[in-house]
Structure 1
Amino acid sequence: MSETRLYASHGSRRARAHGSRLLGLLAWAVACACLLPMVAVALAAVTGGTDTVSHLIETVLGRYALTTLALIAMVATGTFVVGTGSAWLVSMTRFPGVRLLEIALVLPLAMPAYVLAYAYTYLLDHPGIVQSTLRDMTGWGPRDYWFPEIRSLGGAAAMLILVLYPYVYLLARAAFLQQSSAAFLAARTLGQSGWSAFWRVSLPMARPAIAGGVLLTVMETIADYGTVAYFSVQTFATGIYTSWFSLGDRAGAAQLALCLLLFALVLAVTERLQRGKARYHHAGRAHISMPPEPLHGWRAWLALTACALPVLFGFLVPAIALLTMGFGSEQNLLSTRYLRFLGNSLTLASTAAAVTVAAAVAVGFFQRLRPGRGSAAAGYLARLGYAVPGGVIAVGLMVPFAAFDNALDAWMQATFGIRTGLLITGSIWLLVAAYMVRFLAAALGAYEGGQSTIHANMDAAARSLGQSPIGTLRRIHLPILTPSLLTALLIVFVDVMKELPATLIMRPFNYDTLAVQAYRLASDERLEGAAVPSLVIAAVGLLPVILICRQVGRRR
């Protein structure tokens, strides 16, 4: 009897060791896949020669840098003001419609910035509805009045602010709701006005959350391609695409991608440092939530207007414009061509979501199974992709795999007289790998959020019953984490549906998606046609927003 138990014990130990090694290999394979594009971009940029670098410095590098920095400054300022101001108003005051607005302020997250750009160009451009109506009412000619130019740096910044401020709003609102009223009320008793107490007490305590939200918007800004390309704003993102396709300069594209990569990594490290060191503590033992202040008269209407305008211009107006454009277009969403676009988008999104969530499970469970520097390093590398723009990831994957395909083709032809062509480059699987690198951090965050609710004693109980790590994951963790996994799948699915730069660069020949079709039609100034795929993308984007809205509604 004892020999049987001893044998079972040895067998279970061998199974646990085998499962642990397998998870470790999978986790590090995922981490290396996320690191590969960055290493490839750096090597391609360094080996590209100094001629390209000198030409870039003399011609476009300064303009790209200044434009990108100006765009970042405007978006960061705008999202901070709109997101923080609206979060404070709906959290700490009461006015008509506040319950509805605290949820509706999240809705612009469903709109990609480039979709907003198409809608507002249709409304505000010279032949658009607004200016045409103005000329009809006044009898003015094209040169008789001044109107803000939507296709400009300021226009691109406005589009990005309208769709990105919810990042700051959600984090700032959570921070304000968690604050105790003790410090704020102490400031008021010392003679500070409500505005002064907010500026000196509440805002500094919420600074880590707000700074994290603003840094997220900045990283999304440098990654944006569709908006700036459509508005002809020359940033590093547009420069990479132009160098790769229009000029055929792979070295120049890699060097521009390296500049953007370094800046993105600096932002990622900055966000990690400020989030890790910033702390505040309640002075008292009990946490007393701050009672909302009722607003009356003009103050209530001012607060209502301030919170309603972002929802109006960030969601309602573009949605109505897209619907109007879509009904007036000749695009048939049920035609064979559009069904193919829809099928391609759904195939890529569903495949990428499944692969990305599986990778997140491997990395997240390995960190839990083997806590330490090795697993922490694998998790950190797996998260780096979120700070890297899609265009950089595309260049970083295309360069090494194109070289591999060409070398394999040359060897096969020289050895066997067979041309293999491009086996990996231009395939769906390489594009799915780019999506996984880009969005793995989001899936990993959703998975780890659910995993933190599983007590360590459950793992110990499973081990005492002879379960291997894979068995523990399959029989205990995954059933419990089904809601978190579904959330992660949904987030990645929607992000892939909206993703544009990597899809433009890496998609297989004649394999277009809804996002690519919308971009192509808009580039040809066929805005009515671009509205149809844009509406589908926005409708799909509403799914995670509905989940977020439900969480916001339950927060109080």
Structure 2
Amino acid sequence: MSKSTQIPSVPSKRRRSKKSGGTAFAIVAWIVALACLLPMVAVALAAATGGTDTIRHLMETVLAGYAGTTLVLVLLVAIGTGMVGVGAAWLVTMTRFPGVRLLEVVLVLPLAFPAYVLAYAYTFILDHPGIVQTTLREVTGWGPRDYWFPEIRSVGGAALMLVLVLYPYVYLLARAAFVQQSAGAFLAARALGNTSLQAFWRVSLPMARPAIASGVLLAVMETIADFGTVSYFGVQTFATGIYTSWFSLGDRTGAAQLALCLLGFALALALAERTSRGRARYHHAGKQQAKMPPVELRGGQAALAIVFCALPVLLGFVLPVLVLFEMGLESEQSLFSKRYLGFLQNSVTLAMTAAMLTVGAAICLGFYQRLRPGRPSALAGHVSRLGYAVPGGVIAVGLMVPFAAFDNALDAWMRANFEIRTGLLITGSIWLLVAAYMVRFMAAALGAYEGGQATLHANMDAAARSLGQGPLGMLRRVHLPILTPSLMTALLIVFVDVMKELPATLIMRPFNYDTLAVQAYRLASDERLEGAAVPSLVIMLVGLLPVILICRQVGRRH
């Protein structure tokens, strides 16, 4: 009687490790998602439990003004970024004129500037004691009341600063949409008797609408989140109202209710854009390879195209750099002094810590969605992205309220039972500030990681599993080595965004822990613009790093 051969089964320990590895990623992903949701929930609860007296007082006094000014600012920025971004994108992709290849790349450069840094530079130039008005008075002999000059410290001035630094969002997305369009639909419209301008309005622009709307929405979200520019110019928006209520008036309930209004405003804008798009779909007519032959511009048309594309770069990058450099030379601030090296160290420490934590959380979220595709993982990803639509001031209030309550309750309990004062353990700590950065910039890190992850074929995962790798081994040995460029891009984006972030840092930073952004804002608020130029230049130089990467991608023509 022959003996039966028994095939050894896969050890149950390995199966449990694979399952537990996936479960671990699910747990971490949902912890991150709930952490990103916490500020919004906390703001809503604080506003709802604060009573109606405060909101009634706000409605009777400042709420209408905040809402009206914010709405006007949003409309001006949306129109301005749309006109500049779409116009420049159309010219560099669909026409040819002298210098177009250079302008196609340098149009991205203003993205390196925070709007509040641009505000400092233009105030130095255009304010009453600035070089422009001073020269005007010397040449004409006029007195201060003998002429009218546009006021830079106004809603229009703030909108101009924001347009100059935010139009690249629209430009980049619109340019990509125009590059991908085939010539078929446009040439068909021309064959039906439309002029080039009519074909642009009726065919090319509607096909690029989703990309343009996304770019304008990004610019609008940055506008309602802006604090440094509007605060410096004295423009009363929701962002400045939150800071005033929290610090100047000590009204935490009012700050929470204003934060809830701003949160609702931001989410309403995002929902309106998505609803207006509806189920519309845009498909290219003809073959993708049939690209639009560029139109050669000559004479006056070429000159107008050069001016239209060069003016945003001159006003949004070249002129501010020259002015800030001159201001920095005239100031008494030394970047290499012990004090400024401390500001630089604080900024870099916060930015590096936040970047590594945010990208690590994005890896867990993205890998969880790949391991277990479905509604739960998709929901975790959507919840984690909410922070992009939430201004830094709202996130700061949403984190400070619950953790301040926790610290106070813990301190009271410890004193009552052990006669020990614990103080504020979490509130005012670096880690809470880093958590705010993570919530704010998770969408950017997750987008960069998922963009790289989409290039990994599913067969790679199957091959790793067949070789006995669990989820953690597959991530460590297969995914991460391949996705290193995407991870570096995500780290760089979050690093630069944290360096430029102002409202959350102002509200949540530990005592006597200032950054370059805070120092620049403080000096500018004291009208020491020459001193503010030094940290502003450093912030701009750091912001150039991702912009250079973007310029390299733009320069790679199809």
Instruction: Tell me which residue corresponds to 2:55.
Output: 53
Q: CA deviation at 1:69?
A: 0.2
Structure 2: which amino acid aligns with 1:6? S
Q: TM-score, normalised by structure 1?
A: 0.98
Inter-partner Cα distance in structure 2 for 1:498 and 1:5 = 59
Q: CA deviation at 1:273?
A: 4.9
Q: Deviations over 1:126-174 (max 9, x none)?
A: 0001111111111111111111000000000000000000000000000
Q: CA deviation at 1:283?
A: 2.6
Instruction: Tell me which residue corresponds to 2:209.
Output: 207
Instruction: Tell me which residue corresponds to 1:150.
Output: 152
Q: 2:164 is matched with which residue: 162, 165, 170?
A: 162
Larger mean CA deviation between 438-447 and 463-472 belongs to 463-472
Residue 69 of structure 1: SS of its match in structure 2?
helix
Structure 2: which amino acid aligns with 1:315? F
Q: CA RMSD in A?
A: 1.2
Q: 1:319 is matched with which residue: 299, 314, 321?
A: 321
Identity of aligned residues (%): 76
Where do 5+ consecutive residues of structure 1 fail to align?
A: none
Inter-partner Cα distance in structure 2 for 1:309 and 1:2 = 81
Residue 9 of structure 2: SS of its match in structure 1?
helix
Instruction: Tell me which residue corresponds to 1:298.
Output: 300
Q: CA deviation at 1:285?
A: 4.3
Mapped pair 1:544 → 2:546: yes
Where do 5+ consecutive residues of structure 2 fail to align?
A: none
Instruction: Tell me which residue corresponds to 1:97.
Output: 99
Change (3 A) 1:93 1:463: same
Larger mean CA deviation between 130-139 and 23-32 belongs to 130-139
Inter-partner Cα distance in structure 2 for 1:284 and 1:207 = 19
Structure 2: which amino acid aligns with 1:141? G
Q: 2:527 is matched with which residue: 513, 525, 528?
A: 525
Instruction: Tell me which residue corresponds to 1:343.
Output: 345
Q: 2:178 is matched with which residue: 176, 197, 200?
A: 176
Q: 1:6 is matched with which residue: 4, 9, 16?
A: 9
Q: CA deviation at 1:99?
A: 0.3
Inter-partner Cα distance in structure 1 for 2:515 and 2:492 = 18
Q: CA deviation at 1:282?
A: 2.3
Q: Deviations over 1:178-228 (max 9, x none)?
A: 111111111111111111111111101111110111111111100000000
Q: 1:395 is matched with which residue: 382, 389, 397?
A: 397
Q: Deviations over 1:424-461 (max 9, x none)?
A: 00000000000000000000000000000000010011
Q: 2:414 is matched with which residue: 406, 412, 415?
A: 412
Inter-partner Cα distance in structure 1 for 2:77 and 2:212 = 14
Q: Deviations over 1:354-377 (max 9, x none)?
A: 000000000000000000000000
Instruction: Tell me which residue corresponds to 1:377.
Output: 379
Inter-partner Cα distance in structure 1 for 2:205 and 2:108 = 21
Asked if structure 1 preserves the Cα contact closer than 8 Å seen for 2:186 and 2:200, the reply is yes
Q: Deviations over 1:271-298 (max 9, x none)?
A: 4456673321223245311011000000
Q: 1:239 is matched with which residue: 234, 241, 244?
A: 241
Structure 2: which amino acid aligns with 1:231? F
Mapped pair 1:42 → 2:44: yes
Instruction: Tell me which residue corresponds to 1:251.
Output: 253
Aligned length: 555
Inter-partner Cα distance in structure 2 for 1:445 and 1:2 = 52
Instruction: Tell me which residue corresponds to 1:358.
Output: 360
Change (3 A) 1:2 1:155: farther
Inter-partner Cα distance in structure 2 for 1:133 and 1:321 = 16
Instruction: Tell me which residue corresponds to 2:330.
Output: 328
Mapped pair 1:277 → 2:268: no
Q: CA deviation at 1:500?
A: 0.1
Inter-partner Cα distance in structure 2 for 1:110 and 1:7 = 55
Inter-partner Cα distance in structure 1 for 2:25 and 2:224 = 34
Inter-partner Cα distance in structure 2 for 1:119 and 1:3 = 80
Asked if structure 2 preserves the Cα contact closer than 8 Å seen for 1:462 and 1:472, the reply is yes
Q: TM-score, normalised by structure 2?
A: 0.98
Structure 2: which amino acid aligns with 1:212? S
Q: 1:426 is matched with which residue: 419, 425, 428?
A: 428
Residue 100 of structure 1: SS of its match in structure 2?
helix
Q: CA deviation at 1:107?
A: 0.2
Q: CA deviation at 1:6?
A: 1.4
Instruction: Tell me which residue corresponds to 2:497.
Output: 495
- Residues 466-477 of structure 1 mapped to structure 2, 5 A cutoff: 466-477=468-479
Residue 334 of structure 1: SS of its match in structure 2?
coil
Change (3 A) 1:285 1:150: closer
Inter-partner Cα distance in structure 2 for 1:13 and 1:113 = 53
Q: 1:505 is matched with which residue: 498, 504, 507?
A: 507
Inter-partner Cα distance in structure 2 for 1:285 and 1:247 = 62
Inter-partner Cα distance in structure 2 for 1:547 and 1:275 = 31
- Residues 53-92 of structure 1 mapped to structure 2, 5 A cutoff: 53-92=55-94
Asked if structure 1 preserves the Cα contact closer than 8 Å seen for 2:50 and 2:253, the reply is yes
Inter-partner Cα distance in structure 1 for 2:365 and 2:168 = 29
Inter-partner Cα distance in structure 2 for 1:3 and 1:233 = 80
Residue 371 of structure 1: SS of its match in structure 2?
coil
Structure 2: which amino acid aligns with 1:183? A
Inter-partner Cα distance in structure 2 for 1:543 and 1:268 = 29
Q: 2:268 is matched with which residue: 266, 269, 278?
A: 266
Please list every run of at least 4 consecutive aligned residues from structure 1 whose deviation after the TM superposition is greater than 6 angstroms. Answer: 1-4
Asked if structure 1 preserves the Cα contact closer than 8 Å seen for 2:180 and 2:288, the reply is no
Asked if structure 2 preserves the Cα contact closer than 8 Å seen for 1:351 and 1:432, the reply is yes
Change (3 A) 1:497 1:4: farther
Inter-partner Cα distance in structure 1 for 2:288 and 2:151 = 53
